[in-house]
Structure 1
Amino acid sequence: MEKHNQCPECAGTRVHSHGGISAGGGYAPNYLPGLGTFFSSGKFTVRVCADCGLTRFYASPEARAKLRDSKDWRRG
């Protein structure tokens, strides 16, 4: 995840973030299948530029750690 607060789309500096957002599951689509636990889905950090609206979703470190061994994801 980018460490600076400049938007790559418009170079604006009013970028806000919120972490720990569920990637879905249950009645919603699961956007990170196989990267959560039995009782909870994987998590996102979401960053939004207040200037242009660009929104980016970043998988949590815990979800990314499961990628290599997950049967639901393939490299490339």
Structure 2
Amino acid sequence: MAQDDETTADQPQASPVLPVQPTGEEQSRVAQELLAEHVPLALLVDLVAPVVSSEEILETEGLPEETWWEAEPETPGA
């Protein structure tokens, strides 16, 4: 085992990889794609600005008129 320790000690240490920050345009594109996939806006807000909770948004905006989450799924060809 001592030999393994010696060989790794002689090798250069890797630099940490820092994440690349997306540009504003990329962030907008990703947000639009998520909204197009029906990801709730409140969830996106929670992810990017956790200081505003979805509970606060619900209190301000209220529930939607259509309860889409309770609707029966449509069967193809019916």
For the superposition of Structure 1 and Structure 2, which TM-score range results when normalised by the shorter chain?
under 0.3
Which structure ranks higher in relative contact order (CA pairs < 8 Å, sequence separation ≥ 6)? 1
TM-score, normalised via structure 1 length: 0.28
Between Structure 1 and Structure 2, the one with more helix by share is 2
More strand by share: 1
Structure showing greater radius of gyration is: 2
